[in-house]
Amino acid sequence: MTVSSCSTAGGIALGVNIDHVATLRQARRIDYPDPIHAALLAEQSGADSITLHLREDRRHIQDRDVTLMRQLLQTRMNLEMAVTEEMIRIACGVKPQDCCLVPESREEVTTEGGLDVAGQTARVGAACAALASAGIRVSLFIDPEPAQVEAAMRAGAPVVELHTGTYANASGQALGVELDRVRSAPSSPPRWGSP
């Protein structure tokens, strides 16, 4: 499980990502460990939101997980997904409280960079509008670059999540460079942090 937090009006909110519980289940080709059980345990332990990524290749989270989790969770559900017609249709049917649009590559083990919103603003904007019309709050997982933050605003996303993997993997002088990159992103997007 991955844990993240975001600042809210009431303080810090705790979000828990349960994807890799499902990775173990899928690798074992059995029914445990169960990501739904992990999500409910995290929720009972005080998590404010549960994040799960329904990937196009279904490598960990499965459609059944998404449907059951939406029925059982009492906290916010944050569905991470690619910007595809199939995923938008699924999200609009399930209606999680939040959706985070992310890039996907079948070659990656986990999401390794931000969504290129600047290169596909109209497409991302259409996805944001469709999800918002279904009552779903949208966030975009982007690199900490001013052009991406500005494109996210133009696309109509009320929330952005910054990819900090490059910073996390940096060392020496590169660490300072990457921290400056995160700091230099404009300070006036709709809202900083995870949904």
Residue 194, Cβ density class (10 Å: 0-12 exposed, 13-18 middle, ≥19 buried):
buried
Q: Band of the pLDDT at 135, cuts 50, 70, 90?
A: very high
**CA dihedral of residues 57, 59, 65, 67 (deg, nearest 10):** -10
User: What confidence score (pLDDT) does residue 185 get?
Assistant: 79
Taking residues 106-120, report their average pLDDT. Answer: 82
DSSP per-residue string spanning 80-142: EE-SSHHHHHHHHHH--SEEEE----TT-SS--S----TTSHHHHHHHHHHHHHTT-EEEEEE
User: What confidence score (pLDDT) does residue 11 get?
Assistant: 80
User: What confidence score (pLDDT) does residue 10 get?
Assistant: 66
Taking residues 111-125, report their average pLDDT. Answer: 93
Taking residues 89-94, report their average pLDDT. Answer: 98
Q: Band of the pLDDT at 82, cuts 50, 70, 90?
A: very high
pLDDT tens digits for 149-159? 999 999 999 99
With contact defined as beta carbons under 8 Å apart, do 107 and 98 qualify? Answer: no
pLDDT tens digits for 2-46? 555 554 566 889 999 999 999 999 999 999 999 999 999 999 999
Residue 30, Cβ density class (10 Å: 0-12 exposed, 13-18 middle, ≥19 buried):
exposed
Instruction: Report which residue type is found at 167.
Output: Y
The pLDDT of residue 195 is above 50: no
Structure-token pair, residue 102 = 């992310």
Structure-token pair, residue 25 = 């289940």
- 3-state secondary structure at position 62: coil
pTM here? 0.87
Q: With left for phi above 0 and alpha for psi between -120 and 50, is residue 11 left, alpha or beta?
A: left
Structure-token pair, residue 57 = 């290749």
Rounded-to-integer distance, Cα 137 and Cα 193, Å: 13
User: What confidence score (pLDDT) does residue 109 get?
Assistant: 61
